[in-house]
Amino acid sequence: MDFLKEGLLRVDPGLLLWTVITFLVMMGILWKVAWRPIVDAMDARAEKVRFEIDNAERTRQEAEKLLAQHKAMMDNSRNEAAQIIAKGREEAERMKNEIVEKASAESRTIADRAKKEIELAKDKAIIDIKTEVVVLSTEIASKIINKNIKAEDQKALVEEALNKMGTVQ
């Protein structure tokens, strides 16, 4: 144990007292000079982190609101598109019905016109036949007159021809 009395591990009470005093003075100076700025810097850093977290939370909430608005707008757009498509279909159906109705009316008009034309052609044919009958009757009558038929026979032939023309009508 001689080595405790000599060398580096020897305890000197005066040196120990001054070492403790120096340590306490240095701790006081460090407390005043270094510790306060370090603590303030750490507090500032903690405050900055809290602010960033709050800011990130606000940003997240705003993003969620925007996402909800975007979804609502998309749903609204889908609904509007569906309504536009439905209106387009209704309009197409209405136009189809109008076209079919116009075509049907036009076909009825054409059919009516054709019937009138047929009726007119029929009437004209009857008139032509009557004219031909009259011409033939006149020719027959002139031939009969030329052969000297009696007046009574001639009258009977004319009445018979006129009666036949009346039945042709």
* pLDDT above 60 (res 94): yes
Q: For residue 168, is pLDDT > 70? A: no
- Whose CA is closest to 144, among 135, 134, 153? 153
Query: If phi over 0 gives left and psi between -120 and 50 gives alpha, with beta otherwise, what is residue 142?
Result: alpha
Task: Please compute the mean of the pLDDT values over residues 140-167 and round it to a whole number.
Answer: 70
Q: Quick: pLDDT tens for 5-59.
A: 566 666 777 888 999 999 999 988 888 888 878 888 899 999 999 999 999 999 9
Q: Indicate if the pLDDT at residue 3 is higher than 60.
A: no
Quick check: 157 pLDDT over 70? yes
pLDDT score, position 5: 58
Q: Is pLDDT above 80 for 1?
A: no
> 148: which residues sit within 8 A by CB, 6+ positions away?
none
CB atoms within 10 A of CB 165: 14
Task: Identify which of 11, 94, 131, 129 has the alpha carbon closest to the alpha carbon of residue 102.
Answer: 94
Q: Calculate mean pLDDT across residues 60-80.
A: 95
pTM of the model: 0.41
pLDDT in tens, 108-119: 999 999 999 999
The secondary structure of the chain in percent helix, strand, coil, rounded to multiples of 5, reads: 90, 0, 10
Tens of pLDDT, residue by residue over 106-151, are 999 999 999 999 999 999 988 888 888 777 777 776 776 666 666 6
Burial 35-60 (b: 16+ CB within 10 A, else e): eeeeeeeeeeeeeeeeeeeeeeeeee
Which sequence spans correspond to the domains of the chain? 2-168
